[in-house]
């Protein structure tokens, strides 16, 4: 079971290329700060603009740097089933502990098409698979009924739920069972998601405030709800600031202020506006990071 504070890692660049040194140093810092698991090549890692070779390298860099101290859940999905299978095979061979597979975007498959897509990966690669349900980016939204069908397959172990529908984790648990791993994809609602039966969060904010995110999850697991709620409130301005423009633009700017990476983003993404920069800075000051 994957649980707790899981960071959707940014991908640092230097001279427009993946900065492997900065990436592995960032992974080390994340582990030192208490992060429970790592996600390379997710949306926050700019997966749409990484080449196939770069994605493979980033996954390998993450696996090497983490060195089995925490699980690595590699982003391997695309809107092509064959490509998804190929990348998931690579992730397994590279030593990843699971694959995070996004809903097939743009081509708008039916529920049966979604089922067949994930079943094909399940049948081809013996690696735990987490479904990434993010309708705001992929348009497609997997129904609980389709997810329940998929949960019966041996390698489909959970979901990253970025629907922002807080009825979903409860409905999913009742339909599938408590052992189906449910991870939030929405930082701002993490405690509510946990209260509805969730197990953790794949976080954007965790890039900037990994210890606070980790402490929140540990407090929840220990039943120290006062501390969890205190951290929830403290982190809220930062959650808002990380989405003042499209992810990962604000988080990379924030990390550049911390000296963790350059603010460079692959086009068509670009640096955030001056107004947004002030909002990010203010949130970081309020949270105590700056």
The full set of domains in the chain, from first to last, is: 4-222 (3.20.20.70)
Q: What pLDDT is recorded for position 136? A: 87
- The active-site residue, picked from 90, 115, 132, 253, is 132
pLDDT tens digits, residue range 42-76?
Answer: 999 999 999 999 999 999 999 999 999 999 999 99
- Whether the per-residue pLDDT at 247 is higher than 90: the answer is yes
- The active-site residue, picked from 160, 252, 253, 277, is 160
- For 29, the 3-state DSSP assignment is helix
pLDDT tens digits, residue range 128-141?
Answer: 999 999 998 888 89
Q: Which of 39, 21, 1, 60 is nearest to 248 (CA)?
A: 39
Q: Which of 193, 191, 174 is nearest to 182 (CA)?
A: 193
- For 150, the 3-state DSSP assignment is helix
Q: Which of 44, 172, 169 is nearest to 100 (CA)?
A: 44
The rounded Cα 47 to chain-centroid distance in angstroms is 12
Q: In the annotation, is 115 catalytic?
A: no
pTM higher than 0.75: yes
Q: Which of 193, 195, 170 is nearest to 239 (CA)?
A: 193
- pLDDT classification of 196: cutoffs 50, 70, 90: very high
pLDDT tens digits, residue range 164-178?
Answer: 999 999 999 999 999
**HSE-CB for 280 with a 13 A CA cutoff:** 28
The rounded Cα 103 to chain-centroid distance in angstroms is 14
Q: In the annotation, is 264 catalytic?
A: no
Q: How far is CA 214 from CA 8, 65, 190, 265, in A?
A: 13, 19, 12, 27
């Amino acid at each position: 079971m994957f649980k707790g504070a899981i960071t959707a890692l940014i991908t640092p660049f230097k001279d427009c290329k993946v900065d492997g040194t900065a990436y592995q140093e960032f992974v080390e810092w994340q582990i030192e700060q208490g992060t429970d698991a790592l996600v390379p090549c997710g949306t926050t890692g700019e997966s749409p603009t990484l080449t196939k070779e770069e994605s493979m390298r980033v996954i390998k860099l993450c696996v090497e740097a983490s060195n089995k101290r925490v699980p690595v859940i590699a982003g391997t999905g695309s809107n092509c089933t064959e490509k998804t299978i190929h990348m998931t095979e690579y992730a397994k061979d590279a030593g990843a502990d699971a694959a995070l597979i996004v809903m097939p975007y743009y081509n708008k498959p039916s529920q049966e098409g979604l089922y067949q897509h994930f079943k094909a990966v399940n049948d081809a690669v013996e690696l735990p698979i987490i479904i990434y349900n993010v309708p705001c980016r992929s348009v497609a939204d997997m129904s609980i009924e389709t997810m329940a069908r998929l949960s019966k397959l041996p390698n489909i172990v959970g979901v990253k739920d970025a629907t922002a529908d807080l009825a979903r984790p409860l409905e999913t648990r009742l339909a599938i069972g408590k052992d189906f791993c449910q991870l939030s994809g929405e930082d701002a609602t993490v405690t509510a998601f946990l209260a509805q039966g969730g197990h953790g969060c794949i976080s954007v904010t965790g890039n900037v405030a990994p210890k606070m995110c980790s402490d929140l999850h540990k407090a929840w697991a220990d039943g120290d709800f006062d501390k969890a709620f205190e951290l929830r409130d403290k982190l809220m301005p930062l959650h808002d600031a990380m989405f003042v423009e499209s992810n990962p633009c604000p988080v990379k700017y924030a990390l550049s202020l911390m000296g963790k990476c350059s603010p460079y983003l692959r086009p068509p993404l670009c640096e955030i506006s001056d107004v947004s920069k002030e909002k990010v800075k203010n949130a970081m000051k309020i949270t105590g990071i700056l």
